[in-house]
Amino acid sequence: MIQSGFTYLSALLFLSGLVVQLEKKFKKIFRYIPGIVLLYFLVMVFASFGVWKQTDEINLYNKQLKDNLLPVMIFLMLLRCDLRNIMKLGPRMLLGFFSATFSICAGFIITFWLFKSHYESHTWKAFAALCGSWIGGTGNMAAVQLALGLTDSQMGYALLMDSVNYSIWVMVLLAGVPFARHFNSWTGSNTDEIDRIGAKLAEGKTEKPSEMDFSHLTLLLGSSFLVSSLSGTIASFLPTTTFITVPTWTVLIATIAGISVAMTSMGKTPGISHLANLILFLVVALMGSRANFSELTKAPFYIFSGFFILLIHAIFLVFFAKIFKLDLFTCGVASLANIGGVASAPILAAAYNEVLIPVGVLMALLGYIIGTGGGLAVGKILSMI
């Protein structure tokens, strides 16, 4: 049984590296099971069997690392999100993206309102965190979790829904690709603008990025840790309420810093994705290490809730498609850019046309920008229901 904080951290880093290697070797399997989800449940298995004991030292390591690494991760992830490039998507696809975002938020709110009596008292926080993930990504979910003070053990259902419901939804969207022509005819949409924007974005992808070196890593690591420290310091001086706490301010400041710096030359520094993903895996491992399978007694109902949320999302999105004459590509990629993020939206885009992959990437990056704020906004509404 592990009782040392350093040994505990070493074990989590080793498990993270193991999952990354498995993901690299078995790519076909991991198309359906995201590596980040496998890591969470693998760590959760170790925690459930008592591989590490919750000593004061381990608890201190967990809290200090998670609270301080989260702003680091947010800053690094948002460095890739240049708003100037995202605006190239054009009003039509931005309309599709925000229609998907609105319908996801509506799905969480309606579902919670209908089945509130069946949920536990903290479920509104878990739904807010999951909403942050289904608008942006796992990093946004962790940010909302910290901002709302949700414990790691209470995140089990959210991670389960994120895995099971997301996997089925990806298959549904991919299965709909052959029916694009019929859907577009029904909505009366025109795809000429999409083809033009996709080709224009693809032109900017011809240059090979510079290779990452030691100077890039030191710049990114030093800057991100400094932002994390300053965010926490500044947040401690800002006014708080029962909803906007010091951790909430910390997350918001790190978010603003990432979006701002992304529009400078630093946003093109090689190695951003690699370092951001490393921190993301460690943060998720820290979350999973405090969870326990014995607490997942209502898993089937939560999975049902996830599908109900997706059903509401689909109904609203089809309604918006008919009203605004949106095509199936825009609706599908917007949906997956929200729910699946940068890892899966390009896959669906490529299923339509490889030249449209950049559209999927940019939509997903937009989700990273608004995911934390969206999750917190939904959380505020759920807390009042």
* 10-57 confidence digits (pLDDT tens): 999 999 999 889 888 887 777 666 677 778 778 878 888 888 888 889
Q: Which portions of the chain are predicted below pLDDT 50?
A: 205-209
pLDDT value at residue 352: 77
Place of tokens 């993206």: 97
For residue 39, tell me if it sits in a domain.
Answer: no
Question: How many Cβ atoms are within 10 Å of 270's Cβ, its own excluded?
Answer: 15
For residue 64, tell me if it sits in a domain.
Answer: no
For residue 363, tell me if it sits in a domain.
Answer: yes
pLDDT value at residue 207: 43
Tokens representing 43? Answer: 């760590």
* Spatial CB neighbours of 228, under 8 Å, sequence gap ≥ 6: 68, 69, 70, 71, 72, 75, 254
- Per DSSP, helices labelled H in the chain are 5-25, 35-48, 56-78, 83-86, 90-115, 123-135, 138-148, 156-175, 180-187, 192-203, 214-235, 246-262, 272-288, 299-324, 328-339, 345-352, 357-384
pLDDT value at residue 224: 93
pLDDT value at residue 186: 92
CA quadruple 338, 340, 343, 347: dihedral sign: negative
For residue 29, tell me if it sits in a domain.
Answer: no
For residue 93, tell me if it sits in a domain.
Answer: yes
pLDDT value at residue 218: 92
How far is it, in rounded angstroms, from Cα 10 to Cα 67? 18
Counting Cα atoms < 13 Å in the Cβ hemisphere of 244 gives 12
Q: Which domain holds residue 256?
A: 84-150+162-270+294-384
Phi, psi of 2 (to 5 degrees): -80, 130
* Spatial CB neighbours of 8, under 8 Å, sequence gap ≥ 6: 2, 52, 58, 61, 62, 289
For residue 2, tell me if it sits in a domain.
Answer: no
pLDDT value at residue 6: 92
Q: What is the pLDDT of residues 104-130, one digit of tens each?
A: 999 999 999 999 888 888 889 999 999
DSSP sequence for 313-332: HHHHHHHHHHHHT--HHHHH
CA quadruple 329, 332, 337, 343: dihedral sign: negative
pLDDT value at residue 202: 55
Q: How many domains are there within the chain? A: 1
C-alpha closest to that of 128 among 298, 343, 376: 376
